[in-house]
Amino acid sequence: LEDEIGHVPASPCNSNAFTPLNVVNRLDSFQSEIKSKRLFEKTVSTEKAIRQKMNDDSVSVAHADVANSTKVTLRQLAERCQIETEWDKCKHAGVSDVVLKLTSVNATKLRFNEDEGLPSFFFGQSAAPSGCNSVGSVDDIYKWLHQRGFDESLFTKKWVQNHYRWIVWKLGSMERRFPSQLSGRYLTYQHVLLQMKSRYQKELCSAKRPSVRKILNRDVSAGVPIVLCVSQILRFRSKGTVQEAGKSAVTEEIRLELTDGWYGVPAV
């Protein structure tokens, strides 16, 4: 066999292409390349884990139970706990007056206590408590995202304001419906930041757009079946003339605002 290999004609491109020594060198080179690739991938994954841990550690440890707790679906929570519908019982369970007054309209004006991270007041509607630093403005959240290295070219202040509205309203509504379990722990500034970070990663980084945005972008037909929530009921009054009596009559028109929890859309 060695004599036969020795008489194999050489390759015109590489004179040692068919020698046993060159085969061994190629195997060693291939194995070395695999090891280097594995080492590089391990280093990259380690660096990603470190950066992720640093971002997660930036959130207050006092509210780490929200981020690290086992996820429970809304159906599971409704099956295990009683849904509360009376304000007096919610207040007795510890829900603050600010949370009880929260709506989808004034959600963007909600401000939090910087030290405690709990809802404090509505900007422009009530005076801020004396000696209390507040957070929760669009500029505060925009700055928070920028400090954590999020790409500013992917989001704007209007994007932050829109999602801040729906996140705050959702968390406040959940706290009112399950006051015994979530009172004072669900609608917090740290939880809002975590939700904002999650939406940035899902919608902008992973390009997983919500249903309403797909419809507004005309990538999906508006006739596609979809479950939406009524976020606001608008009533308009207008005066019209009745032809038979010749008198003006006041007519009332009702319009709805619907949402998928990410974006709102008007409906008649």
Look at residue 49 in the predicted model and tell me its pLDDT: 57
Joined together, the tokens standing for residue 238 give 């207008």
Report CA 152 to chain centroid distance, whole Å. Answer: 16
Question: How far is 179 from 185, CA to CA, in rounded Å?
Answer: 10
Tell me the sheet residues that pair with 248.
Answer: 241
Look at residue 77 in the predicted model and tell me its pLDDT: 81
Look at residue 36 in the predicted model and tell me its pLDDT: 54
- 55 contact partners, CB below 8 Å, separation of at least 6: 148, 197
Question: How far is 213 from 216, CA to CA, in rounded Å?
Answer: 5
Question: How far is 205 from 52, CA to CA, in rounded Å?
Answer: 15
| Global pTM value | 0.69
Tell me the sheet residues that pair with 238.
Answer: 251
CB 141, CB 160: distance < 8 Å: yes
- Ranges in the chain, pLDDT < 50: 1-27, 50, 54, 57-67
Question: How far is 65 from 164, CA to CA, in rounded Å?
Answer: 21
Look at residue 252 in the predicted model and tell me its pLDDT: 82
Nearest C-alpha neighbor of 98 from the set 116, 128, 129, 120: 120
Nearest C-alpha neighbor of 178 from the set 112, 259, 116, 89: 89
- 91 contact partners, CB below 8 Å, separation of at least 6: 97, 100
